[in-house]
Structure 1
């Protein structure tokens, strides 16, 4: 496992949301999907202990698209988004993850996220300081725009495969959280769309929101994992960077 690059595949996790999710287009379920430096929690077996990490109290304030700006420079978070890493977390988490709140909860790592990207996006809307045009040739995902969320992820500190499995294609919303606090969706799309259809709506960081405003990515992002010199908004990361 390469902890410096923070791609952690976990075989069992409890995922609790305060929001229900619907599809990218027109209200259908968005069964989509991973960003380099991500905590990619693969839901092979969901925990049945719903008391763990049940505190869904919001972190920070509800971010308004029209006034969203970065704080702390280019590597900072959007104003209103809280970063807090518990001192008891392992170094590879607390020294690298941002734009979320993470604590140790028993034998679990608990992450809370407002799910607001700290990169410019078309989906902030033209009136936002964080707006930028879509890549050439791409089209918008309808009227979908980024909205604040209140997500809780509980991930075992020492995971083991459970007795049952839960398909990542089976209606889950987010199956993981990126280094900068964003949702990871799976590698599928709600019918009749295909993932290639959805890719045509990606912004410059290969992300987009579904119709309740959950901004998400499906794969490692070349502009992030391959360094700032890579301006590509498509394709895959260089394997040596993963």
Structure 2
């Protein structure tokens, strides 16, 4: 049987400061292909080229990746400020309704970093524009200098709810993760369960309560060294299992039974 297809929701990027491209990090494709055991397919995330209906019909699951552009605050009822950074309104136009459609029908999704924030916003939640500016919060941003290994170094713990979805999936109440984000959840969306926190209280792991399918999302970047990392591997393996079940017509696999 052909591998099921995971649509990778990528980002708009200007190559060599003038050539517009749609991009997706190689490590995302690697994690999907080698750990989830699915076929990675990069989506040009722009409503001029694709529709939510087309994507739902042709892909079996979706990976909502990280990226420098942030969800526009208008999507959660707030005014744009300098702290909100750069935006990709075309990605907003595809990603947010796609998440809502997948949640409703049980089609598997996995959100990473911006994708984590997209899941929350799609369900009606809000975001802080800059976590490090909040009292008592640490700087969750990527180190500005150093090698990739240094940028993706494991830097803080994430504590899961006892007996929760992530606790059962990881087989541990606490794990060590990298951290490369500026924004974070302010108020959870409808049905969004915060199932893991950083030591400073920042939400790091979520799922959608009572969703019929796999709807997990994390604020860190599990695609880094996914084949070897003991936290990343079970996450992508469970996602791949849910995608295969969907592709075989076996129905949705709820996050609560992962």
TM-score tier after normalising by the smaller chain length: under 0.3
TM-score (norm 1): 0.28
Higher RCO structure (Cα 8 Å, ≥6 apart): 1
